[in-house]
Amino acid sequence: MINKITDSLDKLPAIHKKDLERNLCTCNEVPKIDIIKAIANGAKTLDEIKEQTYASDGIGCCSRKIEQLINYIHFPDRVDNETLNTSPNKRVANERLQRLEKQLKGNNRPNQHVLNQWIRRYGDDAKVIIDKYTE
């Protein structure tokens, strides 16, 4: 049992090894280490974690973190290293730019004033996307 937990912890980035005794699931007061133990013992889905620990059985705000832990331990090929090494602000900007591109692809073109706001906020990245769909 100890080896499984140690092996699982070794697969996690340093940031996820911090505060192991703190509750990851605040609704049901489930510490992060209990979730890691369940994963180390074979839980590979959010439902299996719920079954074993009751984590994410409340409002589910911890679901994404739990899925990250599952991926690190059982499915490391699913971990997006580019996303991990990107600041939260850059990730949000990338997500918004992807939404802009999806909107423009769908021929739902915002007016020029809105497009200019995108360019002011996101610079050349937004300009490239806008130019691609508006020429």
Calpha distance 12→7 (Å, rounded): 9
Asked whether 126 and 97 are in contact (CB, 8 A), the reply is yes
Asked whether 24 and 66 are in contact (CB, 8 A), the reply is yes
109 vs 103, which has greater pLDDT? 103
Nearest to 61 by CA among 25, 32, 91, 34: 25
Residue 135 has pLDDT above 80, yes or no: no
Could you tell me the pLDDT band of residue 14, with boundaries at 50, 70 and 90?
confident
Could you tell me the pLDDT band of residue 61, with boundaries at 50, 70 and 90?
confident
Residue 107 has pLDDT above 80, yes or no: no
Q: Please, where in the chain does CATH 1.10.10.1100 lie?
A: 2-83
**Conformational region of residue 54, where left means phi above 0, alpha means psi within -120 to 50, and beta covers everything else:** left
Residue 58 has pLDDT above 90, yes or no: no
pTM (predicted TM-score) = 0.59
**CATH architecture, domain 2-83:** Orthogonal Bundle (1.10)
User: C-alpha angle with apex 20: 65 to 90, nearest 5 degrees?
Assistant: 40
